Structure 1
Amino acid sequence: MSVTTTTHLNFRGDARAALEYYQSVFGGRLAAVTYKDTGNTENENEADWVVWGEVAGDNGFHVMAYDVPSKLPWDRGTHPFFVSVRGDSTDEIDAFWQKLAEGSTVVQPLGPSQWAPLYGMLTDRFGVTWVLDVAAPYNG
């Protein structure tokens, strides 16, 4: 089993530009999935916003990003990042989730998603927001 942690940056409409910038600085491969790509467009003005994106390089650089939809609260300085924990086993991620969930506020319950076999988000008792998911190949 393998687990990695990655900084997950939060934006409001600037995720693609930020990812392109970080790719120009650090190199690597850029992948971005839009709200339109997932069929989850609640606001047409946000259809091309990034629901999941990353830059990953062979040099070890890795950053993830997304655009927080306008229906959710967001302030550039209040919630600028999440900590992403990605594993290759649903049992492993579920075990981490069960421990982290104690005393936490669940933002998105752990369960299957359109992009991962298992995905969930919670804010722990220290105010840190964690995103846990099981890695799945990107087919975009």
Structure 2
Amino acid sequence: MSVTTTTHLNFRGSAREALDFYHSVFGGRAVTVTYRDAGAVREENEADWVMWGEVVSEDGFHVMAYDVPSRLPWSRGENPFFVSVRGGSAEEISALWGRLAEGSAIVRPLEPAQWAPLYGMLTDRFGVTWVLDVVAPYQG
């Protein structure tokens, strides 16, 4: 079993700038996928916003980020992050999801997604939003 947690930061239009800054501080590898890259543009003025991005350094630093689309609620300081739980298999993520979902509000059901074999989001009874997914290799 191999599960990791990563802080997933939420922005509105400034995720790329934040990721670039964290990359300049921590070094390592930076990856950004825009809504345009993913074929998921709903608002043309948000096409180049970050749908998914991360900075990973050799010394263990890892942060993920995205730009919350305008169709979803977002307020700086109210929902600034998610906790991302990534696992290597559907079985382990499904088991964790089943336990974590107890008493939670499901934001997005755990199911296959364009970018992962399984992906889901929930807000637990303590108000913490969790993103669980099965790791898929980055396809560039």
Q: 1:134 and 1:32 mapped to 2: Cα distance?
A: 19
Q: 2:116 and 2:50 mapped to 1: Cα distance?
A: 16
Structure 2 partner of 1:90: 90
- SS of residue matched to 2:37: helix
- SS of residue matched to 2:113: coil
Q: 2:115 and 2:17 mapped to 1: Cα distance?
A: 22
Q: TM-score, normalised by structure 1?
A: 0.98
Structure 1 partner of 2:23: 23
Which residues in structure 2 correspond to 1:60-139 (within 5 Å)?
60-139=60-139
Identify unmatched segments of 5+ residues in structure 2: none
Q: Deviations over 1:72-127 (max 9, x none)?
A: 00000100000000000100000000111111001111111111110000000000
- SS of residue matched to 1:60: coil
The list of structure 1 runs, each at least 4 consecutive aligned residues, that deviate by more than 3 angstroms after superposition, is: none
Q: How far did 1:139 drift?
A: 1.1
Q: Percent identity?
A: 74
Q: 2:98 and 2:30 mapped to 1: Cα distance?
A: 32
Q: TM-score, normalised by structure 2?
A: 0.98
Give the total of aligned pairs: 140
Identify unmatched segments of 5+ residues in structure 1: none
Q: Which amino acid aligns with 1:5?
A: T
